[in-house]
Amino acid sequence: MDERERQKKALATLLARTMNLPMFTTPLRQSQEDSNIDSGIPGNMWASKVDWPVETGPELKRVVHDTWEHMKFDAATYYDFDNPPAIHGEWVGPRPGFSRKDKPPAVSPAEAYQNISKEAQNPTTILFLFGGAFVRGSAALSRPVTSTLASLSGGRVFALNYRLSPQHPFPAPALDLLIAYFTLLHPPPGAMHSPVDPSHIVLAGESAGAILAAALIQCLLHLRRQNPQNPTVTFNGRQVPVALPAGLAVLSPAFDIGLSLPSFERNNDRDWIWGADPRIRSNFPADDVWPSDPPRVMPYCHDSALAHPMLNTTAVALEDLKGFPPVWIAAGEAETLVDGTMVVAKDVALAGGEVELVLYEGMPHIFPL
């Protein structure tokens, strides 16, 4: 067996093993709980958990609905959704001079946030959105990523714990993000943070998180088109301006969530994300949030929504991409979803936007993680 054949055999073995990963074999509620386990804050970072009560009315829900209706081109529908009772997440920043193994100090969330602000070298605020196919993941699980982003940027990170599916299918997480974004800009009384200048905010997302980042931009652009001279929206009982963030930085975006482009088959034997979502199979372990009867459909959206541009970013019309902020994208050339990444990068550029796409040869989905 030559070296090339040996590598192909090793890769095939690795890919076969991925389907036995706990995320693909554990009942969904248990998988969600496992991904939300807080194993502690590493000694080289600060983390400050927050819970912002949602006091705004139905206006932002209406924005999500109106954006959905504006962008749909067929009978795509969504499951009903509403405001969350609170926005959950955590502020993250580096703790210089300490290692991950060092014991973190016992401080209050307010003290941790003060240290995050003190250590920040610039006003950059990264709004981070974890991946996990909308069904699993958390800010706590993402700490190795968010602490690295804070350290490399010299700023701070807010990692959002958006609601998960199937309990809260799309577009519920898009509404969570929209509320979180305006809360950063216009904090409620008692919030630890001061108003954040939108020009200092960068959206960062991995996999499904990249879809959410793009959906937020679509909601903001839709609002701005309603009143180009003075775009505003009602938030927490007052009119506030609608401003775009400085840009987006996404890794291995799942833009082709409908799995409709050639790379889904072309890279089927090169990526660990391959084949249909195992959670829709009849033999996937059933539980109270994901029963097997009635027959399963997609856990994160209504089946008719798989091609909707708010969820499937490859379907966004060029006209709706005009005004998109600068985008930086990194992806593996061996990903089953890479064609969707390239389509969106091309479309943003064709619409007049600034985009940088970096492809890594032979690399699979979310390879740096």
Structure confidence by residue, pLDDT tens digits, 323-351? 999 999 999 999 999 999 999 999 999 99
Structure confidence by residue, pLDDT tens digits, 138-166? 999 999 999 999 999 999 999 999 999 99
pLDDT band, very low/low/confident/very high, at 16 (cuts 50, 70, 90): low
Q: For residues 23 and 362, give the distance between their C-alpha atoms in angstroms, rounded to a whole number.
A: 24
pLDDT band, very low/low/confident/very high, at 268 (cuts 50, 70, 90): confident
Q: What is the pLDDT of residue 7?
A: 63
Which residues, listed in sequence order, are joined to residue 204 by a DSSP beta bridge? 128, 249
Beta strands in the chain (DSSP E): 45-53, 86-94, 125-129, 156-161, 201-206, 232-235, 238-241, 247-251, 327-332, 355-360
89-122 burial, b at 16+ Cβ within 10 Å, e below that, comes to bbbbbbbeeeeeeeebeeeebeebbebbbebbee
Q: What is the pLDDT of residue 24?
A: 78
pLDDT band, very low/low/confident/very high, at 369 (cuts 50, 70, 90): confident
Nearest to 304 by CA among 62, 79, 28: 79
Q: For residues 106 and 346, give the distance between their C-alpha atoms in angstroms, rounded to a whole number.
A: 48
Q: Which of 1-10, 70-79, 132-141, 269-278 has the lowest mean pLDDT?
A: 1-10
Q: What is the pLDDT of residue 1?
A: 61
Structure confidence by residue, pLDDT tens digits, 180-221? 999 999 999 889 999 999 999 999 999 999 999 999 999 999
Q: Which residue has the tokens 């030559």?
A: 2
Question: Is pLDDT above 60 for 19?
Answer: no
Question: Is pLDDT above 70 for 110?
Answer: yes
Portion of the chain with pLDDT greater than 90, in percent: 80
pTM of the entire structure? 0.94
Question: Is pLDDT above 60 for 224?
Answer: yes
Vertex 264, ends 35 and 321: CA angle to 5°? Answer: 80
Radius of gyration of the chain (CA): 20
Q: For residues 218 and 115, give the distance between their C-alpha atoms in angstroms, rounded to a whole number.
A: 34
Mean pLDDT of the chain: 93
Residue 269: alpha-carbon gap to chain centroid: 26
Q: How far is CA 224 from CA 62, 221, 344, in A?
A: 15, 5, 21
